[in-house]
Chains A and B, each alone.
Chain A
Amino acid sequence: MKFDDEPVPGYALPILPGHVSPGRLERVLRAGKFAITSEIDPPDSADPAEVLKRAAIFDGYVDAINATDGSGAHCHMSSVGVCSLLTRVGYATVLQISCRDRNRIAIQGEILGAAAMGAANLLCLTGDGVQAGDHPQAKPVFDLDSMSLLEIARGMRDECRFQSGRKIDMPPRLFLGAAENPFVPPLEWRPHRLAKKIAAGAQFIQTQYCFDIPRLRDFMLKVGDLGLLEGPDRVFILPGIGPLASARSARWIRDNVPGVRIPDAMIARLEGAKNQKEEGKRLCMDLLHQIREIPGVSGAHIMAYRQEHSVAEIIEGTGVLEGRVPWYPGRDNPAELNPESPDAPYPTTTSLIEEVP
């Protein structure tokens, strides 16, 4: 998908009427296209090249890349760091902020910093408990929860105010997202909890891994009945999927990753296959096909931890992009691009500074 006003990488897209962010993800979703997001496994390294290398795996297949924030309570390069490196070359990123490690002072500062660095999407998370990670002795902060984080981020964007009420000169133009897990108790409440998140400011939702299509279908029906998929404040839902590497790893995930439900039938299907890894990919493609058909679903979030290369294969294999090629560095001929200096494929630091009014 190429926009008429496609800028040189590093420049922000203009914000369209009815949009809140200068990002590609919001544009794709509001245009009614089936959006694909994936996530980068942030390196345990200070090497920027490593980040760009990990992002390039998704070139041409994803509309935005999530940069996880200490996922599973493990230390990695920060989400803001990863997003900053990626937005510099033009990628659309989803900044993840979890409430586990920072209080409201740090988080609000981070939101401003990340928006200044070009992040256009923010995923507000509560975060896993510290016991799940490599520093179980750490202090869990949880000053905010995902709901209050959403409200604060929305207040910063729409009212130009910190939670304290103090004024922000230039607000962070962020498309706000949240997570949901339709597959764990209290099941009956999950759609209503989603409604609460939307009331707090959520505009898109990425769910936990989905391996249970009937449960997702049921959830989507209820969400539709609540009227959450219509109107200007509608929400865009991107169920999470991912390839399982083997029956053994599926069992490990089920038993050790909080909130992931994998039905026994799925594990049995992997177990019975000759090549379990291939079967895992096929299973993922089947899930994507089925998710695509569920009314109200706006896209999919592919979490292929340590199998990032398979994302391209899964998308090719299912054809969910319908021939669309999401932007990646080098996709477009610089001469055809919109902003003033068409022969400069990347803005220099000085030209960026001049751009800011």
Chain B
Amino acid sequence: MYKIRRWVVRHSRAFEITYRLFEPLLVKLHPLWRRIGYERAEAPVRIVEKGVKGLLFDCQMCGQCTLSATGMSCPMNCPKNLRNGPCGGVRANGHCEIKPEMRCVWVEAWEGSRRMKHGDRIRVVQQPVDFRLKGSSSWLRVVRQLTNQPRDSADAGAVK
């Protein structure tokens, strides 16, 4: 929801801290994921992730979450799916060229990033989206990467 996602960006620092605590927890659960099997864990985790992140960020489940580098404003809500910053069409009031009623996702992202401790990650060039990962769980992918689990080539080069 638009209102919730804007509220989240206004509290991006709190969400940054929350994720910093949440990520190690996910990694700690690695033995559990392994016991269940990452493939089998995928479906239930995906449902939870989609529910939580959908509510908070209007998450589109691109499968390669970059929220911590975008001020907690999901770039997949940009009608042009820009992953690296605003286009040149932003309106003078900071709204979107294509959806005039919506504030530019990247204007939001910049403001959100300024509130975060590691907000400068917004300056890092992000790789293009790997469309094979669409719909998959970003959380499990991060755990797999951090625990050096064998992963398919779809993960190579994607950002967490």
Which A residues are closer than 8 A to B by beta carbons?
99-100, 104, 126-129, 131-132, 140, 142-148, 151-152, 163, 179-181, 184-186, 188-189, 192-193, 195-196, 199-200, 208, 258-259, 261
Q: List 12 A-B contacts (CB under 8 A).
A: A146-B87, A148-B125, A148-B127, A148-B128, A181-B90, A184-B91, A185-B90, A185-B94, A186-B107, A193-B85, A196-B125, A208-B88
Decide: A258 near B80, CB < 8 A? Known: A193-B85, A208-B88.
Answer: no
State which residues 65-89 of B face A: CB under 8 Å.
79-89
CB distance from B5 to the nearest CB of A (A): 17
Asked if B88 contacts A144 (CB within 8 A), the reply is no
Which B residues are closer than 8 A to A by beta carbons?
79-94, 97-98, 104, 106-107, 110-111, 123, 125-129, 131
Decide: A179 near B126, CB < 8 A? Known: A140-B79, A142-B81, A185-B107.
Answer: no
Asked if B89 contacts A128 (CB within 8 A), the reply is yes
The binding surface of chain B is classed by DSSP as: loop
Asked if B79 contacts A200 (CB within 8 A), the reply is no
Asked if B110 contacts A200 (CB within 8 A), the reply is no
Q: Could you tell me the distance between the alpha carbons of A192 and B86 in the complex, rounded to whole angstroms?
A: 12
Q: Which residue of A lies closest to B87 (CB)?
A: A126
Please give, as numbers and ranges, the residues of chain B lying within 8 Å of A186 by CB-CB distance.
86, 90, 94, 106-107, 110-111
Q: Which residue of A lies closest to B84 (CB)?
A: A147
Most chain-A CB neighbours within 10 Å: which of B88, B90, B129?
A: B88
CB distance from B73 to the nearest CB of A (A): 12
CB distance from B6 to the nearest CB of A (A): 15
Asked if A145 contacts B88 (CB within 8 A), the reply is no
Q: Could you tell me the distance between the alpha carbons of A155 and B153 in the complex, rounded to whole angstroms?
A: 19
Q: Could you tell me the distance between the alpha carbons of A163 and B129 in the complex, rounded to whole angstroms?
A: 12
Q: Could you tell me the distance between the alpha carbons of A199 and B126 in the complex, rounded to whole angstroms?
A: 11
Q: Which residue of B lies closest to A180 (CB)?
A: B88
Q: Could you tell me the distance between the alpha carbons of A65 and B123 in the complex, rounded to whole angstroms?
A: 32
Q: Could you tell me the distance between the alpha carbons of A127 and B110 in the complex, rounded to whole angstroms?
A: 21
Asked if A145 contacts B128 (CB within 8 A), the reply is yes
Q: Could you tell me the distance between the alpha carbons of A181 and B104 in the complex, rounded to whole angstroms?
A: 15
Q: Which of B88, B94, B125 contacts A181 (CB 8 A)?
A: B88
8 closest cross-chain pairs (CB), A and B: A258-B89, A181-B88, A147-B84, A148-B128, A129-B98, A258-B97, A259-B88, A259-B89
Q: Which of A145, A193, A208 contacts B81 (CB 8 A)?
A: A145
